[in-house]
Structure 1
Amino acid sequence: MASLDLTIDGGIAKLLLNNPARLNAFTPEMLAQLESHCETLENDPDICCVILTGEGGRAFCAGADIKAWAPLSPFDFSRHWVRDGHRIFDRLARLSKPTIAVIHAHAFGGGLELAACCDIRVMAPDATLALPESQVGIVPGWSGTQRLARLIPEAMLKEMALFGRRISAERALSCGFAAEIAEMPFAAALEIAEKLLTTSPRATEVAKYMIHAAVAEDRDAMIEALGSGMIAASADKAEGVAAFTEKRKPVFPGK
């Protein structure tokens, strides 16, 4: 049965797309599991990094399972499949933890959109990227034309979305979409993740918020999260809460 599995080992979490018979294509059940796992990851203070990878050697993820969405009515397709998937992918993109996608073989359609949700990507030398949706009469629906447009050049995105061309790992590296090409991409990703065990989790989280605010990844929430974090540590906040609890007027120290 298709699943998206979560394991945690020594502060590093692994999300495994486990549907190798269908090239790790996404099913509704896997989407629901991703949403649940994101909640777990966000609320576990001991996790310093998340690695996302696929089971088997044939694909990282071939996208959304056509057997899952093809029978849907236009209403269910747009309101539920596309919007729910978009919301859940956004949840992954906006995790406070650093995330690494390990791309072996192919990341197509929703699989490429999923990889784009991660902070960095490590690719195998023979890995390829594609947006083949037009070949089955649809368009990218999980931010393939939006988030990807912030991560790769417009011309390259059009090559994939309009002309159906596949992009090699070398080209992905040259434009900055891939952080590294490695013969053993998971081992390379694990080495990157292990370096975070010696860094400040709070500093890493705040740096990610600042970058997301700059590139319009949930900018409003990121700005308010940064501001709220600053004020929550202030003496004024402590005095305000104390005054409310004690039913008196606050005397703010301005600190």
Structure 2
Amino acid sequence: MSEVTCTNEGGVAVLTLCNEAKLNALTTGMLRQLEAHLADLDRATDVRAVVVTGAGPKAFCCGADIAEWGPLGPAEFARNWVRDGHRVFDRLARLSKPTIGALNGHAFGGGLELAACCDIRVMTLRATLALPEGKVGIVPGWSGTQRLARVLAEPVLKEMALFGRRVTAERAVALGFAAEVADDALAAAHDIAGSLADMSPRANELAKAMIHAAVDEDRAAAIEAIGSAAAAASDDRQEGVQAFLDKRSPNFTGN
């Protein structure tokens, strides 16, 4: 059974976490499905934007399924569970296409970390944000103390991680974490994605890479991707490839 669905609605791909009975808690299977969808979306030429949301009205994602990670020993927990989650979340954060988190409900722990991987977020009024890991004896493990620290101010992050306090949707907008509060987060995300019709997909991809380089989101790869794109568009690149195929010396012009 698919626990993470992917649909394409007019060029807007919607990834939906489908574990409503457990408030869309992330399982190993869901992480694998999410990673596979993201790999496909990165190469999809008919997708302009990606929206991430959760099934049902209660939760976007309440975090990682404790029934899966609870029995793990310290080494397996750190080596596999934490690192696997990081790999998948990094894939979302570094997706070449614009991403929107449609927070239809609460985003706790890993769910908040997942939302932080999106380029922008919209929330319903009833949605709240929290990092409750300390209440079960662990710490945020999927970039809650790292990537989230670039999105939220240090005192706010400490308020959630150290004191277990929740952040409301209205406060999330005031803090700059969410772009807006809407009655229907998914519909609002679609409206925002619609504005991409007037934007150049290639310009957006390059702008996203440049911004990521500035905030140290996979900076090395971002810089090399930008440089490689410029080199690939040059006459010299075409001449170099053709010369290699013709088994001759290239005649570079610097263009």
> TM-score, normalized by length of structure 1?
0.98
Q: Secondary structure at the match of 2:59?
A: coil
Q: Which secondary structure does the structure 1 equivalent of 2:139 belong to?
A: coil
Aligned to 1:5: 5
8 Å Cα contact 1:132-1:160 kept in structure 2: yes
Tell me the CA shift for residue 2 of structure 1: 6.8
User: Is residue 68 of structure 2 the alignment partner of residue 33 of structure 1?
Assistant: no
Q: Where do 4+ consecutive residues of structure 1 move more than 2 Å?
A: none
Look up the SS of the partner of 1:60 in the other structure. Answer: strand
Note if contact 1:11-1:197 (Cα within 8 Å) is conserved in structure 2. no
CA contact (8 A) 1:14 1:53 kept: yes
Instruction: Describe the SS at the equivalent of 2:64.
Output: coil
* Contact kept? 2:104, 2:184, Cα under 8 Å: no
State how 1:1-255 maps to structure 2 within 5 Å.
Answer: 3-255=3-255
Letter in 2 for 1:252: F
How big is the alpha-carbon RMSD for the aligned residues of Structure 1 and Structure 2? 0.9
Distance 2:215 2:152 in 1: 13
Instruction: State the one-letter code of the partner of 1:228.
Output: S
Letter aligned with residue 194 of structure 1: G
Identity of aligned residues (%): 63
SS at match of 2:33: helix
Contact 1:123 1:182 in 2 (8 A): yes
Distance (Å, rounded) in 1 between the aligned partners of 2:72 and 2:184: 39
User: Is residue 60–residue 105 contact of structure 2 (8 Å, CA) maintained in 1?
Assistant: yes
> Any conservation in 2 of the 1:13–1:49 contact (CA below 8 Å)?
yes
Distance 1:199 1:147 in 2: 27
Q: Distance in 1 between matches of 2:44 and 2:80?
A: 29
Cα distance between partner residues in 2 of 1:15 and 1:2: 11
- Measured after TM superposition, the shift of residue 236 of structure 1 is 0.9
Structure 2: stretches of 5+ with no match in the other structure: none
Note the residue ranges of structure 1 that are not aligned, 5 or more in a row: none
Provide, for residues 7-54 of structure 1, a one-character-per-residue CA deviation record: whole Å limited to 9, x for no partner.
Answer: 112111000010010000000000000100001100101100011111
Q: How many residues align?
A: 255
Q: Supply the AA of the counterpart residue of 1:189.
A: A
User: Is residue 48–residue 97 contact of structure 2 (8 Å, CA) maintained in 1?
Assistant: yes
Per the TM alignment, residue 197 of structure 1 is displaced from its structure 2 partner at its CA by 2.5
Cα distance between partner residues in 2 of 1:235 and 1:147: 39
Structure 1 residue identity aligned to 2:37: H
**CA distance 1:148–1:216, change in 2 (3 Å):** same
The answer to whether the 8 Å contact 1:2/1:27 transfers is no
Q: SS at 1:173's partner residue?
A: helix
TM-score by length of 2: 0.98
